[in-house]
Every structure is written in C-alpha cells, then in structure tokens.
Amino acid sequence: MNNSTVVGFHGRAGHYLDAIGIFVKPETKISQGS
C-alpha cells in the first residue's frame, strides 16, 4: 500500500492470538491552484 498511514491496530485473542490487523488511512494531498 503506497501513500497510506497506519492509524490503529486491532486484534482478537483467546489463549493464543487469533487475529491481528491494522487500520490504514489513505494519505491525501491538498493542492491549491495559483
């Protein structure tokens, strides 16, 4: 994934770690015309 930022993690666990993931946010660039 290009041009994205990690904004958080999530997971699920019992006796062992069952699942893990990340939340990403696309990086947006604001360009202003002259």
1-34 pLDDT, tens digit per residue, is 677 888 899 899 888 888 999 898 887 777 676 5
| CA–CA dist 28, 12 (Å, integer) | 30
pTM over 0.95: no
Position 1 scores a pLDDT of 62
**What is the 3 state secondary structure string of the chain?**
CCCEEEEEEEEEECCCEEEEEEEEEECCCCCCCC
* Residue 23, both tokens: 């939340």
pLDDT reported for residue 34: 58
pLDDT at 28: 76
Closest Cα to residue 8, out of 23, 28, 27, 30? 23
Q: Where are the domains of the chain?
A: 1-26
How far lies 15's CA from each of 11, 12, 19, in Å?
A: 13, 10, 12
